[in-house]
Amino acid sequence: MADFKNALISCQKCGRLIAVKARDYESGAIQCTHAGCGQINPLTQPYYDERILKGLPEFGRLVHQANPTVKYPLRLGINVVGHSPTCEVMVERLIHDGRCYISRRHCTIEVIFDKWKGSFRYQLLDGASDVDSHHHKNSLNGTLLDGYLLQNGEKIDIGDQGLLGLGGKDFFRLEAYRIPPRMLESYLMLKPLEPDETQ
Ligand SMILES: [Zn+2]
């Protein structure tokens, strides 16, 4: 556990500074001593240490609905999905009625670690940044999430087992990665609430 001695925090109610001693952290809260206040300020805010990410075997994947043996692993951060070799998730050029409905850089999935919950968020956006100009470019045939067509610039979280539709013809299911609870527990951290100063 970190050294929490002699920190100063701002009172949640009156905003004035309160000196906190190590023993106050053990009780989990401190009462504001300023006249007319008396606010009980919590001193701990549990979160999961991001170092846990280094030891994980994966960050979730997309599974082709029509052929579940085809799986595409996701990485932490930005994953552009499409059939261009510049994509982090490069899918096959799937042909329907003589054409492919998936754009070269079709959509973007950002995998974000939520350190407060100890779980991953999968944020979906239609289109992707262009490799050369870095401007955002929408897909030609659109991106669906559970049957809903994403609007321009709209970001939506994909739930576990959410069904992603690329161009209305090809579907992929998200298999979210859940960190094993016992592993998660060992990375649980307690942090003082908004310390303004430590000596
Ligand atoms: Zn106060």
Measured in angstroms, how far is the CA atom of residue 8 from the centroid of ligand 1? 13
Span from the CA of 3 to the centroid of ligand 1 (angstroms): 24
One of 3.10.450.50, 2.60.200.20, 3.10.129.10, 3.40.50.720 is the CATH number of 57-178, namely 2.60.200.20
Ligand 1 centre and the CA of 16: distance in Å? 6
More confident residue, 192 or 11: 11
d(CA 92, CA 134): 24
pLDDT of residue 197: 47
Q: pLDDT tens for residues 142-166?
A: 999 999 999 999 999 999 999 999 9
CA of 29 to the centre of ligand 1 (A): 13
Query: Ligand 1 centroid to 189 CA: how many Å?
Result: 26
pLDDT digits (tens, 9 = 90+) for 28-69: 789 999 999 999 998 876 789 999 999 999 999 999 999 999
Report how far ligand 1's centroid is from the alpha carbon of 28 (Å).
16
Kindly list the domain boundaries of the chain, sorted by start residue.
7-47+189-198, 57-178
